[in-house]
Structure 1
Amino acid sequence: MTEAAPPRLDPALWRHRPGIDRLFDALDVRQGATRIVGGAVRDALLGAPVSDLDLATRLAPTDVVRRLEEAGLKAVPTGLAHGTVTAIAGGLPYEVTTLRVDKETDGRWAKVAFTGDWEADATRRDFTVNALYADPLSGEVHDYVGGIEDLKHRIVRFIGDPFQRIAEDHLRILRFFRFSARLAAEPDPAGLAACTARRNDLLTLSRERIRDELLKLLSYRNPAAALAVMESAGILKTILPEGGDLARLAGTVAAEERAGVPPDPLRRLAALLPEDPDLAAATAARLRLSRKDQARLKDAATPGAVPADPRILAYRTSAEAALDRLLLTDDPRAGAWAPRLAGWHRPRLPVSGRDLIAMGLAPGPQVSRTLRRVEERWMETGFPAERSRVLQLARDELGLR
């Protein structure tokens, strides 16, 4: 396929990065051996911020490592068998991958062979909008599969036969919807039909891979449209059989926007689930969330009104969990409390059981029970930090002057 007359990106988008020239010299950019690839090119064409900079190169992986080390740059062989080396330049990571073609695939992993052919490398990728390359110095964009046109029309399209692309890597089903959400794009009908037909392939994937892809999808500004298509295709139930409350998700997304709160994928996952802490805990465990995130998801799914002072709920659970409940219940106080909770740290009760004993309370179980009542008073009075005030609360609880 011949390349159409391409647009050019402004190299200033990345040339300001520390150590970038040394990295480019090490990878023979001036000789045409290495180009920027994938998301950075796509986002630059969209006028979106460019964050991670991935590089594709004709150089063999061992040559990449050697050249980086000779240039005084750190080389981390993160996936050498698949041609991937992480270069560290100016304190920033860059994923450098040798051009490759798939030799064997099983839907989860691939055996690859390295090549010097840019077009062959492009045609093994998932979607046309992700198979774009740019010259790091001139900004010239190279498009072998029609990605520029699809990006212009906001279409997420598999490269080649969608069924074949999915057979190579089953995770591409979820990536299809994630990039549809990312680009606010209409799903390509042929791709949607293939994803629907092969949805049970997702059951072969690890829970971690499904979790990561689902949380990425939920992190976009408004994932509801893509999730609605997933639900109608039977794909959402395949990966999240516990729930799929899209109306509640839409309400939470709107509540976040009104409160000026950034999208939070874990909160949005909670919105998709019923208010059932046991079910949320089971879902969190199945998706292999961290212990902290498991606790937060369970707290978010625990029904109940948020106290007049949301810090009381934050004290009992966490500041994140309190904000989750405000937003999940569309509480009108969310906008006012969001910045306060964001900078809130759980205070420590400034009195102890020893203080109660010094006031005359006999040692024993009643000390801890009384201390809990003092703690309740302390929370209800706004968490005063002054020890003298809290000691007075303790005296009041004991009936002392």
Structure 2
Amino acid sequence: MIASVAHASWFKAKETQTLLAALEAARPGGSRFVGGCVRNTLMGREVDDIDVATQLTPDQTTEVATKAGFAAHPTGIEHGTVTVVVNHKPFEVTTLRRDVTTDGRRATVAFTESWEEDAQRRDFRLNALYADASGAIHDPTGGGLDDARAGRVIFIGDASTRIREDYLRILRFFRFNAWYVRGPLDPQGLHACADLAAGLDALSVERVWKEVKKMLAAPDPRAAWEGMTAIEVRARALPELANETRLDALCTLEADLMLPVDATTRVAAALMDQDGARALARRLKLSNEERDRLVAALGDEVKITSYMSLRDMRRAIYRIGNEAFRDRVMLAWAGAGGDKAQAWRALVAHAQMWTPPKLPLTGDEVMAAGVPAGPKVGAVMREVEEWWIDADFPSDKLSVIERLKAVAQGMA
């Protein structure tokens, strides 16, 4: 592994270099890239966000950005973070910090000029890697580079101390293991998480839900999920996600057949039923959209099988929607094992490709056929719609009108 990020496209990008040049002009050697962009580059992973640590104060960062013609937004000013936007590209620029007090949920910080102090307040050694203006790596904890090379997640310093600073780090431990670890989970970290699991009770449910989604978006979270379950962290933080067999089967299926990963489908797989989905949504304050998707994924009013005909697939998609159909197919496929992969793949593809049509009939047309305004209009439209669905959604308007006339006459 080359201890440099100078080759990375994000590092060489005009926006990145322009921002760093402005910061460095204000204080030479005072700004470095940190965290995920450095870690992921060294580990050959995709980089989504670019964070900068700086010895400049937030006011100085804002002044530098403004003079350079960049937009500057105080998105986390109490913790020293200013979001600087360069040519529509956002960068989080944060002043070096040290913790003054912590209560397990949040920290009061003081600004510092020490890279070592800033590193010590972070969670894991591979997250405390910095890259300077030349792309060279700095490793203040002395273990971050080795961890990135080996594919392991180790707390900085004493694991229990790091967790007591913020109990969310228990879930972050498993999330980062899901994404980055090759091999067993660090036993000392696992032991500390087990000892301090009660601290999870004090966390905001929004933070817990955010970590769960990130963890289950990992290519293969099975080892991390098993570790979390073994020390009863999963039962404590996520009691509704108790269907370990189906979640494991879905993850196995995705890994073996290299299928696209969807974190929400995995959450649905880990739930027992629709009641569990509603309970999870209430407790963790999911959005209405998230709740409705999970509930729909666990419905059973439409039977899903690998041997569904095209007609049956279209009927099902029309009734429950493309997204719910895909989720149910994935859960049914996981329950059936890896057999008949080609047939199951066809169902997934159909869910993505076929757009349900709209019934080519209006209420005005129903009334024009002699149906009086009122409840009968809806009743006639529903009967015509059932015929239309059963006929596999014909687009012939004349056929629909002829059916309307027959239904209207029958109800007269």
TM-score norm. by structure 2 comes to 0.89
Deviation at residue 396 of structure 1 after TM alignment: 5.2
Aligned to 2:313: 310
- Equivalent runs, 1:204-283 vs 2, <5 Å: 204-256=202-254, 261-275=259-273, 277-283=274-280
Counterpart-to-counterpart distance in 2, 1:108 and 1:37: 23
Deviation at residue 398 of structure 1 after TM alignment: 5.2
Question: Is the 1:104–1:110 Cα contact (8 Å) retained in structure 2?
Answer: yes
- Runs of 4+ residues over 6 Å off in structure 1: none
Moved more, 232-241 or 346-355: 346-355
Q: 1:357 aligns with which of 367, 374, 381?
A: 367
Counterpart-to-counterpart distance in 1, 2:54 and 2:282: 40
Deviation at residue 124 of structure 1 after TM alignment: 1.1
Counterpart-to-counterpart distance in 2, 1:140 and 1:386: 67
Aligned to 1:374: 384
- The one-character-per-residue Cα deviations of 1:130-162 (angstroms, maximum 9, x if unpaired) are 1101123x2211112211111222221100111
Aligned to 1:7: 3
- The one-character-per-residue Cα deviations of 1:208-239 (angstroms, maximum 9, x if unpaired) are 00000001000111112111111110000111
Are 1:103 and 2:106 counterparts?
no
Deviation at residue 381 of structure 1 after TM alignment: 2.9
Question: Is the 1:6–1:140 Cα contact (8 Å) retained in structure 2?
Answer: no
Deviation at residue 279 of structure 1 after TM alignment: 2.5
Moved more, 326-335 or 118-127: 326-335
Q: Residue 349 of structure 1 aligns to a residue in which SS? A: coil
Q: Residue 348 of structure 1 aligns to a residue in which SS? A: coil
Question: Is the 1:256–1:327 Cα contact (8 Å) retained in structure 2?
Answer: no
Counterpart-to-counterpart distance in 1, 2:12 and 2:6: 12
Aligned to 2:20: 24
Inter-CA distance 363–50: structure 2 relative to 1 (3 Å threshold): closer
Question: Structure 2: which 5+ runs fail to align?
Answer: none
Question: Is the 1:17–1:90 Cα contact (8 Å) retained in structure 2?
Answer: no
Inter-CA distance 286–313: structure 2 relative to 1 (3 Å threshold): farther
- Equivalent runs, 1:73-88 vs 2, <5 Å: 73-88=70-85
Aligned length: 394
Are 1:329 and 2:332 counterparts?
yes
Question: Is the 1:6–1:141 Cα contact (8 Å) retained in structure 2?
Answer: no
- Equivalent runs, 1:24-43 vs 2, <5 Å: 24-28=20-24, 31-43=28-40
Q: Residue 27 of structure 1 aligns to a residue in which SS? A: helix
Q: Residue 187 of structure 1 aligns to a residue in which SS? A: coil
Counterpart-to-counterpart distance in 2, 1:393 and 1:155: 66
Inter-CA distance 365–259: structure 2 relative to 1 (3 Å threshold): farther
Counterpart-to-counterpart distance in 2, 1:346 and 1:88: 41
Higher helix share: 2
Deviation at residue 20 of structure 1 after TM alignment: 2.4
Are 1:134 and 2:127 counterparts?
no
Inter-CA distance 269–190: structure 2 relative to 1 (3 Å threshold): same
Are 1:341 and 2:337 counterparts?
no
Aligned to 1:124: 121
Q: Tell me the amino acid that sits aligned with residue 174 of structure 1.
A: L
Inter-CA distance 380–221: structure 2 relative to 1 (3 Å threshold): farther
Q: 2:180 aligns with which of 161, 180, 183?
A: 183
- The one-character-per-residue Cα deviations of 1:303-332 (angstroms, maximum 9, x if unpaired) are 241375334333333311110001111075
Counterpart-to-counterpart distance in 2, 1:365 and 1:50: 56
Q: Tell me the amino acid that sits aligned with residue 210 of structure 1.
A: V
Are 1:157 and 2:128 counterparts?
no
Counterpart-to-counterpart distance in 2, 1:33 and 1:201: 36
Are 1:169 and 2:166 counterparts?
yes
Question: Is the 1:231–1:244 Cα contact (8 Å) retained in structure 2?
Answer: no
Moved more, 227-236 or 280-289: 280-289
Inter-CA distance 221–153: structure 2 relative to 1 (3 Å threshold): same
Counterpart-to-counterpart distance in 2, 1:95 and 1:384: 54
Question: Is the 2:2–2:42 Cα contact (8 Å) retained in structure 1?
Answer: no
Deviation at residue 389 of structure 1 after TM alignment: 3.3
Counterpart-to-counterpart distance in 2, 1:152 and 1:12: 17
Moved more, 24-33 or 38-47: 24-33
Deviation at residue 374 of structure 1 after TM alignment: 1.7
Counterpart-to-counterpart distance in 2, 1:329 and 1:349: 29
TM-score norm. by structure 1 comes to 0.91
Counterpart-to-counterpart distance in 2, 1:12 and 1:270: 37
Question: Structure 1: which 5+ runs fail to align?
Answer: none
Inter-CA distance 344–76: structure 2 relative to 1 (3 Å threshold): farther
CA RMSD of aligned residues (A): 2.3
Deviation at residue 344 of structure 1 after TM alignment: 4.6
* Percent sequence identity over aligned pairs: 40
Q: Residue 156 of structure 1 aligns to a residue in which SS? A: coil
